[in-house]
Amino acid sequence: AQSVTQPDIHITVSEGASLELRCNYSYGATPYLFWYVQSPGQGLQLLLKYFSGDTLVQGIKGFEAEFKRSQSSFNLRKPSVHWSDAAEYFCAVGPPYNQGGKLIFGQGTELSVKP
Amino acid sequence: DTEVTQTPKHLVMGMTNKKSLKCEQHMGHRAMYWYKQKAKKPPELMFVYSYEKLSINESVPSRFSPECPNSSLLNLHLHALQPEDSALYLCASSQVGGGTADTQYFGPGTRLTVL
């Protein structure tokens, strides 16, 4: 079955510290991979995506993610967290070719930032 | 420009009311989506329109009725809703055709409260 696992429901980091949010997926083929961020009461904003090529992808707001095929993982990282990064983060996977456009989301990781 | 707009931002309705949610995009996308999101949960897909035709209905109750009048507009008509339908309703759009085309861009959502 296709699934996405975000093992950490809630993470707290200090401002200025580094961050890594984990994402593992189960899929028949290499899917398209996405990270979205959602501030309270807001829509989802695309941080970055991976379709093919270089396995280290850069996104907006200083985020990056690395695709590791052998580990079926797509972890999100940021070297120095800012207080404004506090939000909910969703990892999502989609089919490698247009097959209905269904995204499968993980359960989300809530990030809190300590001053 | 990767903007999807949604109106209204907030909606309160009684169980006997009829209301509509509206979504608009001007990115030339030909796939549009409705999602429902409960607090602290990932978005759940409700409907997908591809080239203005309904392509996916995730067994959504008939009290939700989608409509895609043209390639830029997506409506969700609401009638006889239940309190458990209270949620954030998100619209998204994407190109159709595989590759980077499948990236979904989300609107800010409509916060619906059913009394």
pLDDT in tens, B34-66: 999 999 999 999 999 989 999 889 999 999 999
Q: Which of B28, B25, B23 is nearest to B47 (CA)?
A: B23
Confidence at residue A52, expressed as pLDDT on a 0 to 100 scale: 86
In a mutagenesis test of the A interface, which of B5, B104, B110, B112 is the best target, namely the one with the most A β-carbons within 10 Å?
A: B104
- What single-letter amino acid sits at B62? S
Burial of B87-100, coded b for 16+ CB within 10 Å and e otherwise, reads bbbbbbbbbeeeee
Q: Is the pLDDT of residue B101 over 70?
A: no
Q: Residue B96 has what pLDDT?
A: 77
CB of A65 within 8 A of CB of A55? no
Q: What Rg do the C-alpha atoms of chain B give, in angstroms?
A: 13
Residue B5: predicted pLDDT: 97
pLDDT given at position B44: 95
Q: Which of A33, A42, A44 to mutate to test the interface with B (most CBs of B within 10 A)?
A: A44
pLDDT of residue A50: 93
- In the numeric block, the tokens 């239940």 are attached to B82
Q: Which of the four CATH numbers 2.60.120.10, 3.90.25.10, 1.10.3720.10, 2.60.40.10 does domain A3-114 have?
A: 2.60.40.10
Whether the per-residue pLDDT at B100 is higher than 70: the answer is no
What does the pLDDT profile of chain A (115 residues) look like in tens digits? Answer: 789 999 999 999 999 999 999 999 998 777 889 999 999 888 999 999 998 889 999 999 999 999 999 999 999 999 999 999 999 999 999 877 655 558 899 999 999 999 9
Structure tokens at B14: 């009684």
Domain ranges of chain A: 3-114
User: What is the model's pLDDT at position B49?
Assistant: 92
* Residue B97 predicted with pLDDT over 70: no
Q: If you search the block for the tokens 């097959």, which residue do you land on?
A: A99
Tell whether B59 is within 8 A of chain A (Cβ): no
Write down the pLDDT at residue A95: 77
The dihedral sign for the CA sequence A30, A53, A108, A103: negative
